[in-house]
């Protein structure tokens, strides 16, 4: 992660990362290009009403913008590759699974069930980035998944009620799971007919479609919620996950998931490496640690 000391420095790096001009950014948030120039030179600060608009348009964490957009900025680390911020070096790296065990009872009141009617636009924008601009699941599929699994299809907001991350889990029927595992279909192919009511299945399957947040604390609050769901689930189940981000691999292994297949390292449109992998298993061994 790079440590930022001003909002201007952050905006310059954002434009370079997204390969857009000052004019492009000004159009994105409906301000004059000279306003962008003043912000980048730290001549003027962003007005409070534009902070939220900037966060929604760029998906830069609102708290990151707030920290840097101040007369006395709060130095903050940020990584455009994983799109996470932190205040200290100690919280830059992804903690291991023991972090979850030690803090399993910590929950965030800022988490709620996804409301597709109001949340879809921001979720779609974030998913397009998470999936390297691949088409995400449809509104209808997400709406049905939320209906079937409201407990773990979640969105997390910050203290100012701005979007900070989400968790999307799809309950699949066995044929859809087989096709994903055998690589006969991809995530974008999933239809409503591929979903199932897990309560009526003797061995339900849960597909972790996506989990992301703007800082490690928030992603673990989301993880707490779905792990708590599986900890109390009174049936055998299969959990599967398709990951591309490098910061997901080690935590999947520590949680007890098994690697089924992997693709060679690829590069996205920004030249950043990603490594597609498919995991499956359950959390029984992980939960056994709580009894020791």
Q: How far is the C-alpha of 267 from the C-alpha of 198, rounded, in Å?
A: 36
Q: Look at residue 104 in the predicted model and tell me its pLDDT.
A: 46
The percentage of residues in the chain with a pLDDT greater than 90, rounded to a whole number, is 57
pLDDT in tens, 38-81: 999 999 999 988 998 999 899 899 999 999 999 999 999 998 87
Q: pLDDT at residue 33 above 70?
A: yes
Whether residues 258 and 125 fall in one domain: yes
The pTM (predicted TM-score) of the whole model is 0.77
Whether residues 135 and 68 fall in one domain: no
Task: Say if CB 121 and CB 163 are below 8 A apart.
Answer: no
**Structural domain ending residue among the three candidates 57, 91, 125:** 91
- Helix-helix angle 33-40:22-29, to 10 degrees: 110
Tokens of 152: 């773990």
Whether residues 166 and 24 fall in one domain: no
**Structural domain ending residue among the three candidates 39, 56, 91:** 91
Whether residues 186 and 282 fall in one domain: yes
Q: How far is the C-alpha of 128 from the C-alpha of 186, rounded, in Å?
A: 15
CA distances from 265 to 52, 180, 273, 275 (A): 36, 20, 6, 5
Whether residues 151 and 245 fall in one domain: yes
Whether residues 55 and 126 fall in one domain: no
Task: Say if CB 229 and CB 171 are below 8 A apart.
Answer: no
Whether residues 36 and 161 fall in one domain: no
Whether residues 134 and 196 fall in one domain: yes
Domain that holds residue 36: 2-91
pLDDT in tens, 170-201: 999 999 999 999 999 999 899 999 999 999 99
Burial of 52 (0-12, 13-18, 19+ CB in 10 A): middle
For the domain that residue 158 is a member of, what is the CATH number?
3.40.630.30
* Mean pLDDT, rounded, for 214-225: 83
For the domain that residue 41 is a member of, what is the CATH number?
1.10.260.40
Whether residues 76 and 206 fall in one domain: no
Q: How far is the C-alpha of 167 from the C-alpha of 228, rounded, in Å?
A: 14
Domains held by the chain: number: 2
pLDDT band of residue 267 (cuts 50, 70, 90) is low
Burial of 243 (0-12, 13-18, 19+ CB in 10 A): buried
Whether residues 52 and 175 fall in one domain: no
Whether residues 32 and 48 fall in one domain: yes
pLDDT band of residue 92 (cuts 50, 70, 90) is very low
Whether residues 151 and 280 fall in one domain: yes
**Structural domain ending residue among the three candidates 34, 56, 91:** 91
């Amino acid at each position: 992660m790079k440590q930022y000391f001003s909002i201007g420095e952050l905006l310059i790096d954002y434009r370079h990362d997204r390969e857009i001009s000052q004019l492009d950014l000004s159009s994105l948030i409906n301000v004059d290009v000279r306003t962008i120039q003043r912000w980048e030179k730290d001549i003027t600060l962003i007005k409070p009403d534009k902070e939220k608009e900037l966060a929604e348009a760029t998906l830069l964490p609102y708290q990151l913008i707030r920290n840097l957009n101040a007369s006395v900025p709060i130095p903050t680390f940020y990584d455009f590759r994983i799109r996470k911020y932190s205040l200290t070096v100690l919280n830059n790296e992804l903690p291991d699974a023991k972090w979850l065990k030690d803090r399993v009872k910590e929950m965030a009141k800022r988490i709620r069930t996804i409301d597709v009617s109001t949340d879809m636009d921001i979720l779609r924008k974030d998913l397009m980035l998470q999936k390297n601009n691949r088409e995400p699941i449809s509104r209808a599929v997400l709406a049905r998944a939320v209906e079937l699994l409201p407990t773990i299809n979640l969105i997390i907001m910050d203290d100012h009620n701005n979007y900070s991350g989400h968790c999307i889990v799809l309950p699949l029927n066995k044929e859809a799971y087989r096709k994903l595992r055998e690589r006969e279909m991809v995530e974008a192919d999933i239809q409503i007919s591929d979903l199932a009511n897990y309560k009526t299945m003797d061995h339900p399957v849960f597909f972790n479609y996506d989990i992301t947040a703007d800082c490690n604390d928030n992603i673990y609050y989301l993880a707490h919620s779905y792990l708590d769901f599986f900890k109390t689930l009174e049936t055998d189940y299969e959990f599967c996950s398709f990951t591309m981000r490098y910061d997901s691999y080690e935590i999947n292994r520590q949680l007890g998931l098994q690697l089924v297949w992997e693709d060679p390292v690829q590069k996205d449109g920004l030249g950043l490496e990603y490594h597609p992998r498919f995991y499956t298993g359950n959390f029984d061994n992980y939960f056994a640690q709580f009894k020791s």
